[in-house]
Structure 1
């Protein structure tokens, strides 16, 4: 299987291609919060629902985070007498804020690496289920027992740890411990602060190489010359260059980046409610807050004229497309699928086996329930990150401004093929440059550039809007 990684650090976008098809799409925007470590204070305690709200001040909208009593180390097997208002805690976000709900926190801190995950406040040892070899599992148990006397803390061995030597594992273990010591020093030096951000994982180049790169990767495409040195440093830091010597790195200009990969068209297709199937038929996908409904239609007027085996073929084709859309859109929660009616129990079992096979290698845990009495299939998928719909809703105000621009209305009338969701991706292509110029204006303090404060504000506004319009015209062309 050919695997290619496409990273656009200029626009905080990344994509994984398997055999030329889009397998995973990553958008690392400014609202990304998963894995952030904060130093906050307890704001309110609710004993009836066994929950606590902690002030972490993410932004103006989300100032508090929710934490359950089971996620508190200090209250385990105890009562609420140990909890004091305005008590300082070190917490980590395990579930991002979505649809107006505050993010969920935990005191079980985890610092991720490429081969290990270090948990400094627990003593749990865990091995990935993908490591099925009994000899390897016993080896990692012995290695964990040898590492623990040097430092307290839990350890989680990833699947990639089975492909490297023990020297690399011990080296990363020491690096993760050093990172935690730095976080503790920052926290001790700022005990007077009500809330403080201690750790943020916002470098998309580092995150993609750490989480998505493996030995099957044949090529990496980047859009900045400066990122080549950083990329080689990350590969050398995790010893990836020595394990995969056939890896190739390509640098593409922005125009070739858009023409070769067509990210905006991918977003436009994955954001539509109706998806066409290859032989015949189509599926409808409707997203709600924590519920997704998927309806499969055959597109055949009189299905009784066709053989019964055709229904199973159409359902299997729809199941393959449904699994692909769920992974690409990052749909989570409860998913209810209404397949074409099948009277044979044997065909239903065959379809369920095919669904299990499609979700077997999914990184996110997915459970498939058998057919209900109404002929519906229930799927539950763990929430990790934000879906494309949520990313669009978080930036709806900004993109509605772009849609109202007169030159963009001209492009819509000429049939450029963009919808409101693909505007998000296209606008990301110049948002970074606009932010760079706005920061430059803030840092400029020479009195000769602007004479009065009113002229400063007016000139900044005109410059910002003009820069947005010019860049947007360039990228659309």
Structure 2
């Protein structure tokens, strides 16, 4: 049975999807990372850009959202965008792609309202069907969808819809219509911009990324455990993790995350792939590494490229790499070998819930593909450029270190000692004690003991570490002594 491990006890929410015992995807949700994909806002057009057929939308955040004319509902005849919207106009929009460090969120007027067995589309006018449905079920569910909706409505029929009775499907459509009506009514009450509907939680997103319902969910948060235990049908197995160690550490997921931030990945036969991402694209370079093969060169190259295609497909999902991607396989002289490698890559990518389009080999022998961007890559979420070393080097971002520190302190929630003393690097100490954010107070709330936070005097030590757990009078005495 596949598993999803949920780490929800602290402010950074995480989920790990495991298939056949191996981590295939990591999801991270931080409280400061908004707006989330799927959220619906009412916003105001702040600027119209006719030259690129787009507009900026103020939805209440520092970065304005961006909408292309093709994502406007009214754009049936490909009219110029300045004939469709004007500055100051209010629009109901949904986040199609989350904001990154340099770009605001990508928005659309083509709203989707997700349900358990289907997705309601107020404006699409067509029925879309899950690829996992049988041909017979596709015909049946398409006809059912057409019978239950009226223009301009549309639906996406999930796999589970085929095993759900007609009355339940009809009831769900009615409920989703009511959600959409409520969104429209709430939009009229907002003066300028604001959130109208919150999209998928990290739990819902993880469930949507699992191919079937035979999956075990393991929670470390009692409230979420009880909620989904009572809500999900029998094929799901919901359990509660009660250990004191962080759940990701217990299931050996932390080392997987750290490896996913490294550029090199070794293949089973001793070959290697190197993954390098830039602003423009990601390049995956394949080489034989330690593998020299026992047969002829062509067979050695094919074997390495097949393993590299499988691993590259897995790494794109695990690292959440998106945009333009080029894979530089070892040169193959036979066309049938190229086709075999491409088929292997397509097979692996077909299991990825994020849409990827494979364009095939170029004249130079490079494999080209694109993967849809919904949110930042794992590296972009967790790391930043090192300010004291080579600009190409990455280090844990200060936000990531803060959440790691929070999790470490949460593990001390059952301590019977009266004091805990931690030392932080200069950059982390500055971040924790920054005025106006209450980060220090939030850390104090993680442990029942008195928490003492000091800045380290040397940069050679780790970014943070526990100096002492013990009686608070002893800790206070040591801090006074070292401050002299």
- TM-align CA RMSD: 3.5
Asked if 1:85 corresponds to 2:82, the answer is no
Could you tell which deviates more after superposition, 206-215 or 43-52?
206-215
Asked if 1:104 corresponds to 2:101, the answer is no
- 1:274–1:208: structure 2 CA closer, same or farther, 3 Å change rule? closer
1:94 positional shift:
0.8
Instruction: Provide the C-alpha distance between the structure 2 equivalents of 1:351 and 1:96, rounded to a whole number of angstroms.
Output: 33
Q: In the alignment, which residue of structure 2 is the partner of 1:449?
A: none
1:204 positional shift:
2.4
1:185 positional shift:
2.3
Q: In the alignment, which residue of structure 2 is the partner of 1:56?
A: 59
The CA deviation string for residues 154-213 of structure 1, in whole angstroms up to 9 with x for no partner, is: 2111222223322332232222122222212211222xx221111123632344345547
Asked if 1:234 corresponds to 2:253, the answer is no
**Structure with the higher fraction of residues in helix conformation:** 1
The CA deviation string for residues 235-268 of structure 1, in whole angstroms up to 9 with x for no partner, is: 1xxxx23xx2x72523233406244213321111
Instruction: Provide the C-alpha distance between the structure 2 equivalents of 1:164 and 1:389, rounded to a whole number of angstroms.
Output: 40
Instruction: Provide the C-alpha distance between the structure 1 equivalents of 2:124 and 2:330, rounded to a whole number of angstroms.
Output: 49
- 1:225–1:461: structure 2 CA closer, same or farther, 3 Å change rule? closer
The CA deviation string for residues 382-428 of structure 1, in whole angstroms up to 9 with x for no partner, is: 222221122125xx49x99xx9xxxxxxxxxxxxxxx9449866743
1:124 positional shift:
2.5
Q: In the alignment, which residue of structure 2 is the partner of 1:205?
A: 203
- Say how many residue pairs are matched: 420
TM-score (norm 1): 0.78
Q: In the alignment, which residue of structure 1 is the partner of 2:413?
A: none
Instruction: Provide the C-alpha distance between the structure 1 equivalents of 2:285 and 2:224, rounded to a whole number of angstroms.
Output: 44
**Structure with the higher fraction of residues in strand conformation:** 2
Could you tell which deviates more after superposition, 66-75 or 312-321?
66-75
Asked if 1:296 corresponds to 2:286, the answer is yes
Q: In the alignment, which residue of structure 2 is the partner of 1:363?
A: 353
Tell me, yes or no, if the aligned pair for 1:38 and 1:196 is still in contact at 8 Å.
yes
Instruction: Provide the C-alpha distance between the structure 1 equivalents of 2:364 and 2:84, rounded to a whole number of angstroms.
Output: 50
Tell me, yes or no, if the aligned pair for 1:434 and 1:464 is still in contact at 8 Å.
no
Tell me, yes or no, if the aligned pair for 1:161 and 1:169 is still in contact at 8 Å.
yes
Q: In the alignment, which residue of structure 2 is the partner of 1:251?
A: 241
- 1:351–1:474: structure 2 CA closer, same or farther, 3 Å change rule? same
Could you tell which deviates more after superposition, 47-56 or 465-474?
465-474
TM-score (norm 2): 0.77
**Residue 129 of structure 1, aligned match among 124, 128, 131:** 131
Q: In the alignment, which residue of structure 2 is the partner of 1:188?
A: 188
Asked if 1:328 corresponds to 2:318, the answer is yes
Q: In the alignment, which residue of structure 1 is the partner of 2:219?
A: 222
Q: In the alignment, which residue of structure 2 is the partner of 1:6?
A: 5
**Residue 37 of structure 1, aligned match among 32, 36, 40:** 40
- 1:178–1:280: structure 2 CA closer, same or farther, 3 Å change rule? same
Instruction: Provide the C-alpha distance between the structure 1 equivalents of 2:452 and 2:115, rounded to a whole number of angstroms.
Output: 41
- Unpaired runs of at least 5, structure 1: 404-418, 436-456
1:476 positional shift:
13
Instruction: Provide the C-alpha distance between the structure 2 equivalents of 1:49 and 1:463, rounded to a whole number of angstroms.
Output: 46
Instruction: Provide the C-alpha distance between the structure 2 equivalents of 1:475 and 1:39, rounded to a whole number of angstroms.
Output: 49
- Unpaired runs of at least 5, structure 2: 389-393, 411-434, 454-463, 470-484
The CA deviation string for residues 275-294 of structure 1, in whole angstroms up to 9 with x for no partner, is: 12222122111001240011
